[in-house]
Amino acid sequence: MKLICIGRNYTEHIKELENEKPTDPVVFLKPDTAILLKRQPFFIPDFSDDVHHEVEVLVKINRVGKHIDKKFAHKYYEEIGLGIDFTARDLQAQLKAKGLPWEKAKAFDGAAVIGQWISKKEVTDVNQIEFSLKKNDEIVQKGNTSHMLWKIDELIEYVSKYFTLKIGDIIFTGTPAGVGRVVANDKLSGYIGNKELFSITIK
């Protein structure tokens, strides 16, 4: 399985990082080794002093597809989740300045938190999902999928032009504003509505 990540999909997040608004979705990949194992803490890697949390709504692909039309995209997932795309922001800035790929800053071991999955039937509308991240019991990120530049079905259509989607693939759909640095002993918990889908500690 592969982790397909979307960058710059919320306007306010683009503004906070002073990035240029893209004309197409920004896509990058994480290997399966980036998945943080269940019930394990996240260890800040020794190559970064500025790791940021980025909470994101996740979509789990449930059938094989290529060149999927947007109007059929809803058939390719039944489950919605929540996760974190951890980013070594200092390393990412160095790589971007040199025009180099981001993978070292985005795809390192443990850099992808995948929480509990829920049926998409539990949400009234996948384009109106309220989600949030708490750090030490204080809300630091809050988003709604209605604010995405590209909605879930549009992302599936776009991504499937380039990559065959396979059963178990996961799409990270982008983060809202409020990303920030984590430090040892922080506790992060993610919610869709009032339902907690993950809780991790930082070491």
pLDDT digits (tens, 9 = 90+) for 101-118: 999 999 999 999 999 999
Q: What mean pLDDT is reported for the chain?
A: 96
- Provide the pLDDT for residue 67: 98
User: How far apart are the C-alpha atoms of 57 and 196, rounded to whole Å?
Assistant: 13
CA distance 167 to 60: 8
Q: What is the mean pLDDT of residues 164-173?
A: 98
Determine the pLDDT at residue 55: 98
- Provide the greatest CA pair distance for the chain: 45
* Confidence (pLDDT) at 60: 98
- Residues 33/109, Cβ–Cβ less than 8 Å: yes
Q: Report the 10 Å Cβ neighbour count for 7.
A: 22
pLDDT at 11: 78
Q: CA-CA distance, 171 to 45, in Å (whole number)? A: 24
CB atoms within 10 A of CB 193: 13
Read off the pTM.
0.95
3-state helix, strand, coil in the chain (%, to 5): 25, 35, 40
Query: Which pLDDT belongs to residue 12?
Result: 78
108 backbone φψ class: left, alpha, beta (φ>0; ψ -120 to 50): beta
Evaluate whether 124 touches 140 at the Cβ level (below 8 Å).
no
| Burial (CB count <10 Å: 0-12, 13-18, 19+), residue 17 | middle
- Tell me, what's the pLDDT at 65? 98
pLDDT reported for residue 169 = 98
Q: What is the pLDDT of residues 27-79, one digit of tens each?
A: 999 999 999 999 899 999 999 999 999 999 999 999 999 999 999 999 999 99
Q: How far apart are CA 115 and CA 198, in angstroms?
A: 5
139-174 as b/e, with b when 16 or more CB fall inside 10 Å? ebbebebeebbbbbbebbbbbbeeeebeeebbbbbb
The pLDDT value given to residue 20: 78
User: Which percentage of the chain shows pLDDT scores above 70?
Assistant: 98
